[in-house]
Amino acid sequence: MQIYTPSKIIQLILEGFEKKVLESEVLWDCLTCNQCLKDCPEDINFADLARMARYKMRHTTNKNVDELIAHKGVYTTISEIMSRPYINPDRSLDWVPKDCLISDKGNTLYYVGCLPFFNYEHDNLDSIAISTLQILSKIEKEPIVVFKDEVCCGHDLYWGQGKLKTFIKLAKKNIEMFENAGVSTIVTACAECYRTLKIDYPEIFEDFNDKFEVKHIIEYIYEMWKEGKIEFISSSELNEEISFTYHDPCRLSRFLPKENNITEKVREIFKEFEKLNYSFNEMEHNKSNSLCCGVNSWMNCNEKSKALRYKRMLEAKDAGTVMVTSCPKCRIHLSCLQKDYENISSIEIVDFSEFLIKHIRISDTNNMKEESK
């Protein structure tokens, strides 16, 4: 039994054929990118349906899911191990710049996510964490909380494999660490961590939002800029105008409530960069219509998802020489494809934090206010 379109799957479920849908196992192929939600007249969250179906399929079918997990399941296995109560990761903090003060207790936490583990296979990802921490340290007066024993947020297991129980275990460990450290604000540079902490945790733990405020680094910088605490400056290394574009990750566009306007905030920041010898150009598909990188949750890295990535990279090439994104996995998967196609290899792919770090200065007005107190 072959089922392909989301509307057909919904129709079969409504007609009482849920068992057949689960037995077909077609929902293991869903990218959970939520592209279909954008155009759905009934606002049906198909990705959420796929997530719940995966939970059921794990318990009712004999499908070997391991064959669908990228990188032989190394990263999701690490996440599962971290969910165990007696496991406390001892993550190296060698990447922390010497001029950045960090602590294990305080108000503002930089939630790094699984970036340190991705470094085993992928190059230069430390620069995302370094840039983010440098931005926070430059602005905040107190040391930034960075956990040596931080655990995964659980996104990949929750959305990719439907492992609800393991996800809850990880969430509980994280929340306990947040509480023990006295954290009130959580900042992350990962789109998936942001969606998980911002939306998924509060849906399970009702008092989460009463205790913690979750911000993506985009929101944090936007707020600091609007409050006059920072300003954007030119880089001394920039000698000619640079055309750049922005790739909206699924988790920062279609996966957020409509009232969340982070897609507009990041573009408002980029418009300021047009004063700094940059030219911002949109790709053909942008904002809520942005194309998925094809491999969220480390699932289904195959020829179909590669074709989707290739189409995205061609759009980026038409828009500029630099592609900025705000999801480490998007950067990994899009960069990986460049190794196979010379015609897209010249596009520079950078994280939002890497792009901003050389262009932020503490506002003189803000310094004067601090000195007058």
Where a domain ends, among 63, 96, 112? 63
Whether 298 is in a domain gets the answer: yes
Q: Quick check: 373 pLDDT over 60?
A: no
User: Is residue 138 helix, strand or coil?
Assistant: helix
Q: Quick check: 17 pLDDT over 70?
A: yes
Could you give the angle at the alpha carbon of 310 between the alpha carbons of 306 and 316, nearest 5°?
A: 145
The torsion angles phi and psi of 281, rounded to 5 degrees, stand at -125, 135
- In the numeric block, the tokens 């079918």 are attached to 61
pLDDT digits (tens, 9 = 90+) for 22-40: 888 888 888 899 998 888 8
Same domain membership, residue 345 and residue 280: yes
Residue 175: the pLDDT is 98
pTM: 0.93
How far, CA to CA in Å, does 60 sit from each of 18, 24, 57, 229, 262? 12, 11, 5, 55, 39
pLDDT digits (tens, 9 = 90+) for 149-206: 999 999 999 999 999 999 999 999 999 999 999 999 999 999 999 999 999 999 999 9
**CATH classification at residue 217:** 3.40.50
The torsion angles phi and psi of 244, rounded to 5 degrees, stand at -135, 165
Same domain membership, residue 222 and residue 90: yes
Whether 76 is in a domain gets the answer: no
Same domain membership, residue 309 and residue 189: no
pLDDT digits (tens, 9 = 90+) for 77-93: 999 999 998 998 999 99
Same domain membership, residue 281 and residue 348: yes
Contact yes or no for 160/31 (Cβ under 8 A):
no
Whether 116 is in a domain gets the answer: yes
pLDDT band of 42, cuts 50, 70, 90 = confident
pLDDT band of 327, cuts 50, 70, 90 = very high
Q: How far apart are CA 201 and CA 212, in angstroms?
A: 11
Give the residue among 245, 182, 256 at the shortest CA–CA distance from 219. 256
Residue 39: the pLDDT is 83
- In the numeric block, the tokens 């590669």 are attached to 306
Contact yes or no for 106/182 (Cβ under 8 A):
yes
Contact yes or no for 232/274 (Cβ under 8 A):
no
Q: How far apart are CA 170 and CA 222, in angstroms?
A: 30
Q: Encoding tokens for residue 118? A: 């991705």
- In the numeric block, the tokens 């450290």 are attached to 181
User: 49-53: long-range contacts at Cβ-Cβ below 8 A with a sequence spacing of 24 or more?
Assistant: 49/9, 49/10, 51/158, 51/159, 51/162, 52/162, 53/21, 53/22, 53/27, 53/162
Q: Quick check: 117 pLDDT over 90?
A: no
Same domain membership, residue 99 and residue 50: no
Contact yes or no for 296/192 (Cβ under 8 A):
yes
Same domain membership, residue 239 and residue 163: no
Whether 14 is in a domain gets the answer: yes
pLDDT digits (tens, 9 = 90+) for 262-299: 999 999 999 999 999 899 999 999 999 999 998 888 88
Q: Which residues pair with 360 in a beta bridge?
A: 232
Give the residue among 292, 289, 279 at the shortest CA–CA distance from 322. 279
Q: Which domain holds residue 214?
A: 86-227
Where a domain ends, among 227, 250, 278? 227
Whether 206 is in a domain gets the answer: yes
Whether 366 is in a domain gets the answer: no
Same domain membership, residue 176 and residue 95: yes
Report the chain's terminal Cα–Cα distance, integer Å: 71
Q: Crossing angle, helix 262-272 and helix 217-226, to 10 degrees? A: 60
Q: How many CB atoms lie within 10 A of CB 331?
A: 26
Same domain membership, residue 148 and residue 275: no
Whether 342 is in a domain gets the answer: yes
Of 96-105, 113-122, 136-145, 247-256, least confident by mean pLDDT is 113-122
Same domain membership, residue 101 and residue 33: no
For the chain, what is the mean pLDDT? 91
Where a domain ends, among 162, 192, 227? 227
Q: How far apart are CA 348 and CA 322, in angstroms?
A: 5
- Alpha helices for the chain (secondary structure H): 6-14, 18-24, 35-39, 46-60, 74-82, 115-118, 126-139, 155, 164-180, 191-195, 201-204, 208-211, 217-226, 262-272, 303-319, 328-338, 352-356, 364-372
Same domain membership, residue 221 and residue 310: no
Same domain membership, residue 240 and residue 190: no
Whether 278 is in a domain gets the answer: yes
Q: How far apart are CA 133 and CA 119, in angstroms?
A: 17
The structural domain count of the chain equals 3
Same domain membership, residue 320 and residue 208: no
